[in-house]
Amino acid sequence: MAGEPSGGESGGGLTAYIVHHLTHNTKEFAFGTIHFDSWVIALALGLLASFLMWTQARKATSGVPSKAQAFVELVVEFVDAQVKDTFHGDRRFIAPLALTIFVWVAFMNTMDLLPLDLPSAAITAVAGEEAAHHTYLRVVPTADVNTTFALSITVFLLIIFYSIKAKGGWGFTKELFTAPFHAHGAFAKVVLAIPNLFLNLVEYLSKPVSLGMRLFGNMYAGELVFMLIAGLFMSWVTFVPGVIFQSVWAIFHILIILLQAFIFMVLTVVYLAMAHEHH
């Protein structure tokens, strides 16, 4: 990329560059294929976030807090306030869950701010340029739809759990067939049972879909914009404008990173609150 491609080579070079950066590192297992890069990086970031929060909790003092402790306390109080305003039941599980979601998703989103070619440069330094060309590594787990849907499906299972916990197994099943259209008389109840079931299934299934697709769409689009900027300014002549455009987009993207983590957390708490309340 030392020289600027021209004509068809430019389009082909940019296309190959983007395709390479959008290809996952996959591993074959007996049960199927997984995106190894998303799985490993998401797990590592989750452990890192847990370790950092644990160390601050261990060092917490009632006196003058350190800057790190003050920041962690600010995040914890912020999340707890959001849960308190939304969920009116027992928050002993919901508040830690919301904090975990917010911190973990924010950590995964923040990987999008790393220099785009840093993984390739690291692989080149260790194994050579040829190995880097054939090694795929995407470092933003939330730009992978498998990661976001894994999170949203977990939230969906919690929604079902809290619905059954609040209404009972029979109450939950009955509500699927009797709400939102209530009817009097056996015949009317039978007639409206199928429409009610259909609407409830659509409502329940739309929650994990909206959660997963919203987070994935925003992070994938942000990642793609970084790649387009890098590809369009790939020569030394346009290096300075490329750095400027990348910096501007990165600053704006910080807002998206935090906002998407916040939205995912808030919607999770809202959905669990709706499931917990008796209808």
pLDDT in tens, 134-170: 889 999 999 999 999 999 999 999 999 999 988 889 9
Domain membership of residue 176 (yes or no) is: yes
Selecting among 66, 206, 210, 247, the annotated active-site residue is 210
Active site residue 218: yes
How many structural domains does the chain have?
A: 1
Domain membership of residue 11 (yes or no) is: no
Query: Tokens at residue 46, please?
Result: 């989750």
Domain membership of residue 7 (yes or no) is: no
* Domain extent for 139: 16-276
* pLDDT over 80 at 172, yes or no: yes
* pLDDT over 80 at 9, yes or no: no
* The 3-state secondary structure of 255-277, one letter per residue: HHHHHHHHHHHHHHHHHHHHHHC
Which amino acid, residue 188?
Answer: A
Which whole number is the average pLDDT over 107-134?
Answer: 86
Which whole number is the average pLDDT over 245-253?
Answer: 89
Q: Which residue has the tokens 């970084």?
A: 226
Selecting among 10, 25, 214, 235, the annotated active-site residue is 214
Which whole number is the average pLDDT over 126-137?
Answer: 82
Lowest mean pLDDT among 32-41, 128-137, 194-203: 128-137
Selecting among 62, 218, 235, 247, the annotated active-site residue is 218
Active site residue 196: no
Of 5-14, 83-92, 191-200, 208-217, which has the strongest mean pLDDT? Answer: 208-217
Helix axes 36-58, 94-110, angle to 10 degrees: 120
Domain membership of residue 98 (yes or no) is: yes
Closest by CA to 91, choosing from 272, 279, 274, 278, is 272
- In the chain the beta strands, taken as DSSP E runs, fall at 26-29, 32-35
Which whole number is the average pLDDT over 179-202?
Answer: 86
Domain membership of residue 134 (yes or no) is: yes
40 or 17: which carries more pLDDT confidence?
40
- The confidence score (pLDDT) of residue 52 equals 94
Report the share of the chain in percent with pLDDT over 70: 93
- The confidence score (pLDDT) of residue 237 equals 60
Active site residue 210: yes
- The confidence score (pLDDT) of residue 278 equals 59
- The confidence score (pLDDT) of residue 60 equals 85
Q: What is the mean pLDDT of the chain?
A: 88
